[in-house]
Amino acid sequence: MPRGDLFPDIAPFETGLLPLGDGHVMYWEQVGNPRGQPVLFLHGGPGAGAGAVHRRFFDPTHWRLIIFDQRGAGRSRPLGELRANTTPHLVQDIETLRNFLGIEKWLLFGGSWGSTLALAYAQAHPQCVTGCVLRGVFLGRDEEVDWFLYGLRRIFPDAWAAFAEHIPEAERHDLLTAYLNRLTDPEPAVHLLAARAWSHYEGSCSTLLPSPETVASFAQDRTALGLARIEAHYFAHKLFLREGGLLAGMQDIAQIPAEIIQGRYDMVCPAETAFELAAHWPRARLTVVPDAGHSALEPGIRTALVSAVERFRRR
């Protein structure tokens, strides 16, 4: 897939492992200009981890980009660990990283679950946030989780059938519990097969047009295990969000500027949610990409994201 609208590949100028307690160790990296404007990249999932391509949304001459893998995800250790892994833990981890790196304030950039975590962090620490660039908004509500588990069969009946058929028919009335039981089974032959099935399903539904590259990236064992196990764990606990959900806390960040990028045909996180969020956020600008689904790497989405980041650069 040509990605000429992204910035060139770049290596980090610093990487590290930061102990978090509870047995967790965070992988983090810094990219771009060491004296630049700080921006924090928040990956999706939860549990998907970050990759080298995510560095390319930011002009390295201007931005001091910080990327980290959330608890149990990517290069953080241990992979797929659910113990002491909740949204409040992740919010505190972000603060721990900010203080460790000596950053006063930063721009938040996150898509899908990354948008959820960005909102949760901003509401907890608004004084540390200069703005938000959010994509494929997910607010973690019951109806959004139910849509992922069951509603998507209306649009992707073939992908959903493969997802459901991994579970015996007698358990399909509660796919989340059935998958979580298998994803937490200590036997690799059980949890890896379940992780592949879950991640293949999500990857298959994430783009407007079929993308074997996207599906393959989701289905790699390391990505699949972190994504599926942690995602199911969070779904089973209502994303560990506060009572009333994220919309109830929007008054805490009403003065923070935001750019919301939404694919018109995003089936994983349908556009209705982005419109609801924008209606609750006076300083948010909503851009609907007319020919895109959920993935940040679809042409229209990545162009809109780069443009949104550049608008913050000019502020």
First CA to last CA distance, the chain: 32
| Nearest CA among 90, 32, 80, 54 for reference residue 217 | 54
Q: Residue 40's CB: how many other CB atoms inside 10 A?
A: 24
d(CA 217, CA 232) in angstroms, rounded, equals: 19
**Exposed (0-12), middle (13-18) or buried (19+): which is 141, by Cβ within 10 Å?**
middle
d(CA 163, CA 304) in angstroms, rounded, equals: 31
Torsion of CA 307, 308, 310, 311, to 10 degrees: 120
Structure tokens of 117? Answer: 């975590």
Among 54, 199, 217, 266, which one carries the catalytic annotation? 266
d(CA 191, CA 228) in angstroms, rounded, equals: 9
d(CA 202, CA 160) in angstroms, rounded, equals: 9
Among 76, 112, 206, 217, which one carries the catalytic annotation? 112
To the query of whether residue 266 is one of the catalytic residues in this protein, the response is: yes
To the query of whether residue 76 is one of the catalytic residues in this protein, the response is: no
Give per-residue burial for 197-235: e unless 16+ CB within 10 Å, then b. bbbbbbbbbbbbeebeebbebbbeeebbbbbbbbbbbbb
d(CA 167, CA 181) in angstroms, rounded, equals: 11
- The secondary structure of residue 77, as a DSSP letter, is B
Q: How far is C-alpha 71 from the geometric centre of its chain's CA atoms?
A: 13
Alpha-carbon distance values, 19 to 16, 65, 91, 97, 225 (Å): 10, 20, 15, 10, 22
Q: Enumerate the H helices of the chain as residue ranges.
A: 87-101, 113-124, 142-149, 157-165, 175-183, 188-204, 212-219, 221-236, 271-279, 299-314
To the query of whether residue 22 is one of the catalytic residues in this protein, the response is: no
Known catalytic residues?
112, 266, 294
